[in-house]
Structures are given as structure tokens and as C-alpha cells.
Structure 1
């Protein structure tokens, strides 16, 4: 018999055996059996008062029934979440599942507060063979769950900045579609959609002091204009012509926004559109359920959704969201139970139930279903935004919270006219570089890019 023929058949037999083994392992693993050693365990989490968490709450009883593991959560305002979690890390408080904002992961991982998921994915008793990390949108897994090439968390509450608008109001003003560029929004749409005497405004840009000011307002105007917070050497880039153009644009747009816009957080901006006070907002995709809830919104069939407008630098939408990770200071038993929940709630299997409950899953497969795209009109612009978004929309290094506070203060002063855009940008840049200098980014103690 031909030797090459024998070698080929031997290789094929080995491959078939290996495939059979993998298939057998996949069919053998069940959540119920994996969770059996942890039945009766209670694990604690922090949730936000947002649709994605309400969606998870609807599904949790299914997990508890299957596993015998109890999930308890505290609903905490976003502005207090990081502080509460850090306090728990330091004091040993009850926190097994860690909610990790995209801009907290550098701080949490660098302090060794999170368990790398490799600890669990390398354990055949805990790792679901169908986990499929490649099934997540790469920009989400990399941005929300990964730091310094190590994955700590899985994307859970996932956001892209989108344009939500009132189709009926735009049509009455003579527009059949939303503005495709920021320039058109300011110069063509806004004047026709604003009537201050009737408390009607074209646009609301959530800008409350804090992370909302720094990320949802300030940073949102930099990228589309070709600007950025930092240059390649981690020096301030706020005085570049592009960054200055973006911040000056925001000042011009303010006259078409409701008075007191610097006190608008997400809830106020969403409500202004929902109740007909403004015609357009750029907000996170996660607020779609709120805007389609008849008890909270008057929009009905008038709700329109598109990508954020394009700027001179193209489509550069806001990127935000969270991952769920395991607390490194929790007991081994609680760590395992927490991982099983995280793996389950972010799985491909649960992606559609999570979406139908009001969440926004990070799994690519669920959005390939034409029926899903038809049922949820935010899906198409959201996927387009994720495919062409800005991974470093906000810096993820540990110093971001301190820098965010500076931007929150001086960005607000800019909007109020207490300082000029130029002076405010110079102040932010100087204070920011002081923080980075102290942290060691300029003397080689820390790498410039992660």
C-alpha cells in the first residue's frame, strides 16, 4: 500500500478523533454540572439604573434556577460607582462581580484588583467550550475587557454613540432625513428647529460636570474634527487647530440647545427628546428601550435613528460601555461562581434573550439575523459605528479619573463662558500633563501607549 496514502489516512483519522473529542467535550459540559460545587453560593454585584441592567435582572432568575447560585446586586448611580468599587477593593467589602467602565480598566487591572479570565478559561470544569471569545466585536472586547494584552472582563453593557431624532419634527421643518454632518446640523438644521419662545430646541448635548461632561460632551467634539486629548508623546493636543475647532463648534451649538444644558445628564437629554423639547440628541445606543417605552416617551413612530454626524475627520462616534470581571480579592468559591454568571450572561446563547429584554449584547452573531435588524432599528447604525469607531475614544490609563475631573471642571467653565476655549484648553492641558508627569509617563517609567 502506498506510504503517502497511509500517512494521509492516519492524519485524517487523527483529525477525526480530535474533532470527535472536542465535540464530545462540548456536549458533555453543562452549566448545571459546572455550577454544582457552588450551589448555595451568593455573589454580589453593582448595577446601574440603565436598560442593560434591568435586562439582566429579568434573566437572572433563569441562571439562579439552573445553578443554585444567588445573585444579589446594588443599583448605584454611575457617578458613585467607581468610588464604591474602589472602596470595596481596599476595605474588602462584598463585591464579587466587578463592573468595569472602559476608562476604569487600566486602574483596576494595574492595581491587580481583577482576575485574568485565563484562570477560568484554562479550567475545563469552568470554561464553557462554546465561549468563543472571537464572537465578540473586537473593538468591544479589546476596549472594555482588555488591558496590556491581558483580558480581564467580558463586554456586558455596550454602547455606541448614535443620533436619535424626531422624524416628525424634522419633516415639519422641511427635512426628510437627519443631518449627515456636524456642519449641516449647526448651519442648516439647527436654526430651523429652534424656537426659544416656545421652548423648542434643535439639540441637547448631555454635559453635566463629571464623566458626562468629559466623555459625552467634551471628547465627543474632538474626534470628528480630527482633534484628540493627547498626541503620540502623551502631551496635550488640545491646542491643535483641529481640537480647537471641535471645542469652538460646541460653543456655537449651545445657542440651539436648552438653557441649563450643563446640568443635563443622560436622563435629561433622553427625556428632552422623548417629550418633544428637542429634535435631536447624540446618545448611547443603550437608551433605545427608554425612547421606545410609551410610558416614558411620546415619540412613537416619530423616533428616528442614525449614526452620529460625520465631521471633517469622518465618522468618529462616541464609544463607551462596561465589562464584567471577577474580583481578585473574592474567595476562590465566589470567584468561580462569579465567572460562571459572567460567562453565561455574555454568551452567544443569551445574546438574543438579553437583546429582547432591553440589553445591548456585544456578540456579532446576533446582529447578523435580518429579523433582528428589522425589529431593532438601532442595530444597523450601531454596528456600523462599532466597525469604524475610535478604540481610544477616551484614554483608559489609570490616571483618567483624575484627568476626567479636570475636564469636567474646565469644560463646564468653557460652556458657561467663564473662560475662553483657548484658555480653558491650555489649563486642562497643563494640569493633565502635570498628572502624567507625576505618574512617570515622561521619564520612561511607564510606556506611553497601552
Structure 2
């Protein structure tokens, strides 16, 4: 999917306008002084980073920014109830797999309404500076930009260098096969409660996205084929799911109850030697108040599979509620434009966020200070990133629940891999058939 050139051209054209050259945030915000807007935040480092920067925005604009902090698992439902029943959210948090649902229902407003308004659009907006995979995946639906990338993730391999060296390794595994066959046995000692790896797999979106989908793509598999039929019984998909079952021998007991916090803490406290987690968790693992392994912390790309490097892709955009008043929509745009801007990107990174701006990562000092950046940027390249790591259509939330159920049962051994893949695929196709994907009622590509 590509951002329409008309949108980029409109934003770029404003740089030659005399009015645009005189643009300032203070003047643009003057009509909205005293306006209060509300955002949905998560309890994650990127949102704490935004909260640290918000007082500057409020001082410069006179716009009050409030937010409600929720667990990820409750954030979509909270916003959907708000849209359906009418509510108080102005700055909408959009996960990569919610963009289709939110856009198709008209719950978010096209960004062109704001970046084509010379009074509101910063001439330095520069949409081209966002990593294309982030702007397309998190903020764009049916070639319309609805949100700007804000809290951006790539799956990375975090590891305890000291544990690996003690086991005789001079670096992390390059492939998933190496991790399983060589590192797994050498780093696991169940009697001492030490394990090679932890794959966060709690039932819910963590199971469906961070565990189940993570082992499909590197092995050449996928949830669906090009016709939106289940691809789970393909040999490639089955190979990835079998691999996950084998890897459980080297993970802590009860891994199906591990969410992000448990996986990160297991590495931080020295219980496990490696985890694959989002880039946004680097500040937590590097914080000596939260981690015992700061002097031993290493980070690199996720291991490669038979299909190459296909790391997990996740993240959010900030969008504007279509139900907010015109003044709140304008104020929300000014905030979103500012917090995701090139000008604030370095401040955001230094406060603990992960910017979606390409230019900020050209800073050699940042690259040296934050070693997660280089593998993260590598993971966002066009030949590596998987934009549809999770399907982005409106039916994903329903499919996610089904995948979480079957994925958990498969890990627990209640269903064999082949049986579980077949039954899961059948339920997935039933949902998509009822939604009209096989009758021509819906386009297959967005």
C-alpha cells in the first residue's frame, strides 16, 4: 500500500508558500487556547516519554492535554465503546491491526483535512520522513492517511551476554534453528530455574500476535494466502508451529501465562538468557532500577528462519476522533503533528520513546547511546519488514480471539499442531466467509 502522492505533494507544496514560511505552532494554536483534548495511552515507555514532553506543548499552545492510561488488552474495547456510545476521546490510539476497523466504521478522520489546511499544517511536517512501512501499516487504510506513527515497534532479540559467554557462546544465535538446537540445551537448567528463552504467550493478543504469528513468517508460513484462505496447513506454517512446540522444552514452565512484563522481567532478573521483544522495552531492560543485567544486556535483530529475517512488526499511530468537536479535532491535530514531528523526535527518543522518523536515526551519537536502534532500523527496511505481519482488516479482533484460543491449546498439548492448525483455519475461514470475503462483497486488499 502506498500513501497517495497527492497527500505528500500537498504537504510539500506548503513549504513554498509565504504564509507557510511564517507558520508557528503558537499562532496556529491561538484560536484553540483553553481547549482540552483527551488521549488514550498505554503503560509503556513511549507514553511516559510523551507525558514528559507534553508540558512544553501545553505551555506553547494553551491547549490542555489529558490522557487515560490503560493496559493494552483494554484499550481497543475502551475506544470502541467510546465511538459507539459517544464519549470523551479526541486523540485515538490505533494499533496496526485496528486501522481497518476504525477507518471502515468512520471513527477516525482523514488527516488530509488538517495537513491540507495551511493554518494548521506545519510546513516541516514532511510525511516522507516517516519509515514507509510504519506510515503505511499503522496510519494508512485504503490509500488514505488516518494517523501518524507514534509508538513504533520492531521485534528484537534481547540477550544476556554473560549467560551466553558462560555457556561457551561468543554471540547470540543467528537463526531460530541455532537457538533451538544449540543454545536451548546449553542454557537450560530447570533444577536451577534457568532457561534459554521466553516467548510471551499469554492468551489474548499476546498469544495471537507475539507468539503465534511470530513463528509463521520466518519459516515461510502465514495465516492466510493471497485469496484470504487459511494457509496454516501449509508445510511452511506447520514447520513454524512445530518449532514453537519444540522450543517450549527450553522455556520456563507456565510460559502460556507470560505477557510482555513477565518475559521482560525474566530476562532482567537473570531467569532466562534470551527473549524476542519489542524495541520499546529497551529502556526498561537498560534501567538498573528495573534490571539486574544492564552490564550484560545485548540486543540484535530477531533470528533468521528458513525464509530469512522476518521480524515481528507492531506499533501504533495517533489519529483524531471523528466525533470530537471541530476545535478539539484541530487541537488534537496540532498535538499529534507536534509529538510526532522531526523537531521533537530526538527529545522523544531520549525520553524513552521510539520515533518513526528516519532522520533522527542518522544521529551517530544516538546510535552509540542506544544500541537497539541499528537492529530496529534494519528490521524496518523494505526487504525485511512484513507490513501485514498481522492482517490489518476490520475482522482481525475476532480472529485474534480464535487464534489465541487455539494457539494456547496447541502449546499446552491439548491439540496437536496439525489438528489445531486445521481446526483454527476452518474457524478463520468461517469468519471471513460471513464477512463477505469469498463472495466478492469485500475487496481482498487494502
Q: TM-score, normalised by structure 1?
A: 0.95
Q: Does 1:131 align with 2:129?
A: no
Q: Considering only aligned residues, what root-mean-square deviation do their CA atoms show, in Å? A: 1.2
Q: Does 1:252 align with 2:246?
A: yes
Are the aligned partners of 1:145 and 1:153 in contact in 2 as well (CA < 8 Å)?
yes
SS at match of 2:380: helix
Q: Which residue in the other structure is 1:208 paired with?
A: 202
Q: Which residue in the other structure is 1:424 paired with?
A: 420
Match of 1:158 among 141, 152, 158: 152
Q: Does 1:297 align with 2:288?
A: no
Match of 2:441 among 440, 445, 450: 445
The structure with the larger Rg is 1
Are the aligned partners of 1:157 and 1:361 in contact in 2 as well (CA < 8 Å)?
yes
Are the aligned partners of 2:15 and 2:123 in contact in 1 as well (CA < 8 Å)?
no
CA drift of 1:21 comes to 7.7
Q: Which residue in the other structure is 1:272 paired with?
A: 266
**Equivalent runs, 1:61-80 vs 2, <5 Å:** 61-80=55-74
**Equivalent runs, 1:283-322 vs 2, <5 Å:** 283-322=277-316
Are the aligned partners of 1:25 and 1:129 in contact in 2 as well (CA < 8 Å)?
no
Distance 1:402 1:395 in 2: 12
Distance 2:341 2:301 in 1: 26
Distance 1:341 1:152 in 2: 15
**Any unmatched runs of 5+ in structure 1?**
1-17
CA drift of 1:372 comes to 1.1
Are the aligned partners of 2:15 and 2:124 in contact in 1 as well (CA < 8 Å)?
no
The Cα offsets for residues 342-396 of structure 1, whole Å up to 9 and x where unpaired, read as: 0000000000000000000000000011111111100000000011210110000
Distance 2:444 2:103 in 1: 17
Are the aligned partners of 2:43 and 2:70 in contact in 1 as well (CA < 8 Å)?
yes
Distance 1:24 1:302 in 2: 54
Q: Which residue in the other structure is 1:5 paired with?
A: none
**Equivalent runs, 1:52-91 vs 2, <5 Å:** 52-91=46-85
Distance 2:386 2:15 in 1: 41
Match of 1:391 among 371, 387, 392: 387
Q: Does 1:44 align with 2:38?
A: yes
Q: Which residue in the other structure is 2:8 paired with?
A: none
Are the aligned partners of 1:194 and 1:202 in contact in 2 as well (CA < 8 Å)?
yes
**Any unmatched runs of 5+ in structure 2?**
1-11
Are the aligned partners of 2:40 and 2:93 in contact in 1 as well (CA < 8 Å)?
yes
The Cα offsets for residues 155-195 of structure 1, whole Å up to 9 and x where unpaired, read as: 00000000000001000101111000000000011100000
SS at match of 2:216: helix
* Number of aligned positions between the proteins: 433
Match of 1:415 among 411, 424, 429: 411
SS at match of 1:100: strand
Q: Which residue in the other structure is 1:113 paired with?
A: 107
Q: Which residue in the other structure is 1:331 paired with?
A: 325
Match of 2:214 among 217, 220, 224: 220
**Equivalent runs, 1:90-101 vs 2, <5 Å:** 90-101=84-95
Q: TM-score, normalised by structure 2?
A: 0.96
Distance 1:307 1:436 in 2: 34
